[in-house]
Amino acid sequence: MRDAVTSLIRNYDVAGRHLDRNAFDQLKAYFDSGSVRIAMAGLINANSAAIVKKASAQLFEEVPELIRPSGNAYTTRRFSACLRDLDYYLRYVSYALVAGDNNVLDERVLQGLRETYNSLGVPIGPTVRGIQIMKEMVQAMAEDANLAPSSLAEAPFDHLSRELSEVSL
């Protein structure tokens, strides 16, 4: 698993280049935003159960056919799996926030997930919507906690959504 620093150094190493002004600016931005990224991850950690509960309630309100008979979240087992997956995405978003790099999402979450969901008949659209609802909630919580910029939370959520979906967001 890489973070922003190791990814930057790896890219320069592969190109056989010395770190330049752009690299130093990127490193400075990474370290300058460190306390905010850690605080956001802590916010997610402290509120993960509530975030998943509220996001799933909003998702099922927006897409009620998911919890109706023959819906993908109809049985207790399927409903629990949906909540588990939302929590899983949220946990890995917090890792990506701390790392300042979405690589962890590619390595640990996304690799083969869309294909798995398609083979199991899990609808991608509502999954992406659930991720976006969690993003909106985390951003609102970050703003309420005066964590600026709350937009730092966008990147990992949007990366998950974009890579899962077949439509550009």
Least confident of 53-57, 96-100, 117-121, 159-163: 117-121
Query: Distance between CA 99 and CA 4 in Å, rounded?
Result: 6
Q: Are 132 and 153 in contact (CB under 8 A)?
A: no
Give 159: exposed, middle or buried? Use CB within 10 Å, 0-12, 13-18, 19+: buried
- Under the banding of pLDDT at 50, 70 and 90, the label for residue 169 is very low
Q: Both tokens of residue 117?
A: 């969901």
pLDDT digits (tens, 9 = 90+) for 80-137: 999 999 999 999 999 999 999 999 999 989 988 888 888 888 889 999 999 999 999 9
Read off the amino acid at residue 72: N
Closest CA to 163 of 82, 90, 107, 120: 107
CB atoms within 10 A of CB 123: 16
The CATH number of the structural domain formed by 34-164 is: 1.10.490.20
Sequence spans of domains, the chain: 1-32, 34-164
Stretch (H or E) spanning 108:
none
